[in-house]
Amino acid sequence: MASVQPKTTLGVNAPDIINQLETSATNVGQVERWISAIGGGVISTYGITRKDWLGVGLAMLGAGLIYRGASGRSPLYKALNINTGGQQLSANVSIIPGDKGIRVKRSQTVQQNAQDLYTFWRDLEMAPLYMPGIKVVNKTGERTYHWTASGDNQWNAEILEDKPGELIAWHVHGQPTTANAGKVYFQPASEGRGTIVTLELDFFQTNPAGKLLSHVASSASEYEVAEILRRFRQLMEANEIATTKGQPTGKGRK
């Protein structure tokens, strides 16, 4: 026997009305919801550990952000008639399984062979030439490096996978001002038209709240990945990097 859906007096399915109400009430986009939920969790946890009145306030703030992320509803947005609910993650951005963070992945064709590109990238002490914000990278072991970024932020990184001419994968220990992990692939393009360099960066949610929001809103963006690839391509093809003003930096490969 076929099930009967509950009807309103106008003959409309009640579940349809509920779904429409829920959809119309959602006014926070997917990216903002993710940021709110993760940031709220970090803030709430920190607030609870303080065990004072400030901690209570932070815990309540975090709870509000968690609700905002889970429900997709913002009373402030409603009052200001703002709706970002239609915004979705870019095709180049995805959520790391288990909601561990955001993964940004982009590709760039470089007119050099894969082995040469791999060899240059593998020398991570050269990273400041094409990674914005990185000041110095020092080798501390066969696969370990110490990184120093602008503002004297420092962390250690370790290469986890190394396939000559094909792949380099690494993981960061500590709290970097850039990605927590990454991979770079080198794939020869068809008909000998250079190499497709694919950069994949992971931005985890384990940072303190302030840095987390900064990472997700700015650093963990397509722009950062695209800029690294752009600078790397120009360095490898022209031996210099054009600035935003169109002038070369004057820095070239060794």
Residues 116, 64 within the same domain: no
Q: Tokens standing for 156?
A: 């250690």
One pLDDT digit (tens) per residue for the chain, 254 residues: 554 444 444 444 444 433 443 445 677 766 677 677 767 777 888 888 888 888 888 888 888 888 877 777 777 777 777 766 655 556 667 666 666 677 888 999 999 999 999 999 999 999 999 998 899 999 999 999 999 988 778 899 999 999 999 999 999 887 666 678 899 999 999 988 899 999 998 877 654 443 444 344 434 467 788 899 999 999 999 887 665 544 445 455 55
Statement to judge: residues 56 and 102 lie in one domain: no
Provide the pLDDT for residue 75: 79
As a whole number of angstroms, the distance between CA 169 and CA 184 comes to 7
Domain final residue, candidates 52, 79, 106: 79
Residue 207 DSSP symbol: S
CA-nearest of 191, 184, 164 to 232 is 184
Distance CA 135, CA 150 (A): 6
CATH number at residue 100: 3.30.530.20
pLDDT of residue 31: 64
Q: Is residue 4 part of a domain?
A: no
Instruction: Select from 88, 90, 94, 87 the least CA-distant residue to 200.
Output: 94
Does the residue 234 lie in any domain? yes
Whether 196 is covered by a domain: the verdict is yes
**Residues 47, 70 within the same domain:** yes
Q: Are residues 97 and 134 in the same domain?
A: yes
One domain for residues 123 and 181: yes
> Please, what's the b/e burial string for 101-137 (b: 16 or more CB within 10 A of its CB; e: otherwise)?
bbbbbbebebebebeebbebbeebebbbbbbeebeeb
pTM for the model: 0.60
Per-residue DSSP letters for 28-74?
S-HHHHHHHHHHHHHHHHHHHHH-SHHHHHHHHHHHHHHHHHHH---
Confidence at residue 96, expressed as pLDDT on a 0 to 100 scale: 64
Same domain, yes or no: 101 and 132: yes
- On whether residue 146 sits in a domain, the answer given is yes
Spatial separation of the C-alpha atoms in residues 232 and 124, rounded to whole Å: 12
Within a domain: 250: no
Same domain, 23 and 59: yes
pLDDT of amino acid 203: 76
Same domain, 116 and 232: yes
Q: Which of 36, 57, 79 is the last residue of a domain?
A: 79
In a domain, 139, yes or no: yes
Instruction: Please report, for the chain, how many H helices and E strands are present, in that order.
Output: 7, 8
Residue 8 lies in a domain: no
What pLDDT score does 216 carry?
Answer: 44
pLDDT at 15: 45
Tokens matching residue 108 = 């760039």
* pLDDT of amino acid 191: 85
Q: Strands across the sheet with 195-204, in order?
A: 93-95, 101-110, 195-204, 181-188, 167-173, 154-163, 144-149, 134-139
Same domain, 185 and 222: yes
Q: 58 lies in which domain range? A: 14-79
Same domain, 72 and 155: no
In a domain, 87, yes or no: no
Verify that 111 and 226 share a domain, yes or no. Answer: yes
Number of domains in the chain: 2
Q: Are 62 and 97 found together in one domain?
A: no
